[in-house]
Amino acid sequence: MRILGKRTRSTGASNSAGNAFSWSLANTLVSRLGTLGIGIVLARVLGPEQFGTFAIALVALMAVLSFNELGVSLAIVRWPSDPALIASTVNTLSVVGSAVFCTISWFAAPRFTELMGEPEATGVVRILILSVLLNGLVAGPAALLQRAFEERTRMVIDQVNVWVGAILSVVLALVGLGAMALAIGRLAGGLISAVMFLKTSPLKYRFGWNRNHALELIKFGLPLAGSSVIVFAVGYADQLVVGATLGSVALGFYVLAFNLSSWPLNIISQPLRRVAPAAFSAIQHDQVRLRQAITSLSKVLASATIPAFLAISAVAHPLIIFVYGEPWIPAAQILSWLVIAALSKVYNELVYDYLVVVGRTKNVLIIQLVGLGVLIPALWIGAMLAGMVGVACAYAVVSVVILLPVYLWQLRGGGVGIGTILRQLYLPLLAGGFVWAGCSLATNFITLPLLALSIAGMWSLLIMALLLVNCRNEVGQIRKISRTESLETSI
């Protein structure tokens, strides 16, 4: 059995968080760009109604996954000693929890789809909800790979998952299975990737039980699981409200716009979230390096994401027409609002990971509860007053005016000043304004959509490149912080 604790400097820089982020970023870029065309085909083949039916099922799946393994797998990433001591107990808790939640969800599916106004989606929900079992099964191995910064291995697994699921979904959609095609494809990809996770796990997969470890894991995980449920509710309450009040067709438009608004979040922020907790954990006892890490990450994230978000906002209408076709035009009306919410989410998630590592999980839960308490009535009012646009506007306002300031305020308790973070944002925000202006001019004065989008894209990439060159010192600090030396200390 290969014990992570026996790794030494001989593993080299390939296992540093900096290199892990590079692999994770490459993984996400290949996945997003590679499946972009497939997603366009599916949207054009299925149309808003069938797309909305699948969106209902996906919301149900994400709800269960938010608390599926009780938050215990993250303990493997943060565990200060050999993770082999807790891995078998984590596996037991994860699988038992996922089996219970999957069973409950299976029987609750008809009621859920009825509340969402789409009873015909019950079969799709039940097929998709089987992914919960797979998620619980591989939670431990996935956390071990994350702890070991094995993002190269993760890239192979994720690519197999994405491509098997996407290609099968397209084939089944073309033969007329509708939303069920997406559910079957996703489940098939998840099944194959689960086998690969088990095969590549740094530790041999086994079940076990240690009462003391179990109590400690549950004590650690339950606040995170509770927080994850609230995170889900905050992140998906808008879709739940749209589905319940406006129907599956409106939800199809809303989800397409939401996915477009999340491109920078998925490409830049999500890969970072795979390595940030482990990197923060490796230096959790060094407050100076922790502050340096989150400050540098804030500047790099802002430089990479703010121009991209504002570019998408500026080209919303021609982008949707050119890529998805005229039937999807209503999605353009809400894209700009959702971009604002997604931009806020980038920093909310970064601070969330930081607060978890420094042991302020209860504070995270309180933040989410406050946000949810404000968000739900705001979304309902928005839906009643202005439909999809009202929901998107309410979501953006709560994200920026309530959640983001509260998250930044909590950083003070974690040893980081708000001013320190805000100073990293002024230049990216200024540059983002130039990006938005340039993209708006291109789309307003150039009638050919492809030419307008090409010019807007090149302008945006130029500004982003200049910002990232300006961040070279911060990138160097991040890589220095996350060298294998820190990995040895924590594992």
Torsion angle of C-alpha atoms 345, 348, 353, 359, degrees rounded to 10: -150
Highest mean pLDDT among 144-148, 150-154, 284-288, 300-304: 300-304
Rounded to the nearest integer, the mean pLDDT of the chain is 82
Question: How far is residue 52's CA from residue 486's CA, in Å, rounded to a whole number?
Answer: 46
In 10 A of CB 145, how many CB atoms? 24
Largest CA distance in the chain: 68
The mean pLDDT of 2-21, rounded to a whole number, is 44
The tens digit of pLDDT for each residue in 142-189 reads: 888 878 777 788 888 988 988 898 889 989 998 989 889 989 999 999
- Per-residue pLDDT for 339 more than 90? yes
What's the pLDDT at 486?
42
When pLDDT is cut at 50, 70 and 90, the band that residue 9 belongs to is very low
37 band by pLDDT with thresholds 50, 70 and 90: low
Rounded to 5°, angle at Cα 417 from 415 and 420: 125
Asked whether the predicted pLDDT for residue 482 surpasses 50, the reply is: yes
Position with higher pLDDT, 197 vs 362? 197
198 band by pLDDT with thresholds 50, 70 and 90: very high
Of 309 and 368, more confident? 309
In this prediction, residue 12 carries a pLDDT of: 41
If one compares 369 and 196, the residue with the highest pLDDT of the two is: 196
What's the rounded Cα separation, in Å, for the pair 177 and 199? 32
How is residue 44 written in tokens? 């054009």
Q: Report the amino acid identity of residue 196.
A: M
pLDDT of residue 166: 86
Asked if residue 419 has pLDDT above 90, the reply is no
What's the pTM value of the predicted model, to 2 decimals? Answer: 0.77
**Residue 376 pLDDT exceeds 90:** yes
Q: Is the pLDDT of residue 132 over 70?
A: yes
**Nearest residue to 349 via CA among 403, 427, 303:** 403
Q: What is the rounded average pLDDT of the residues 252-275?
A: 79
At 281, the amino acid letter reads S
| Higher per-residue pLDDT: 221 or 408 | 408
Q: Tell me the per-residue pLDDT of 84-104, one tens digit each, with 9 for 90 and over.
A: 888 888 889 889 988 998 999
Q: Which among 44-58, 65-79, 115-129, 205-219 has the top mean pLDDT?
A: 115-129
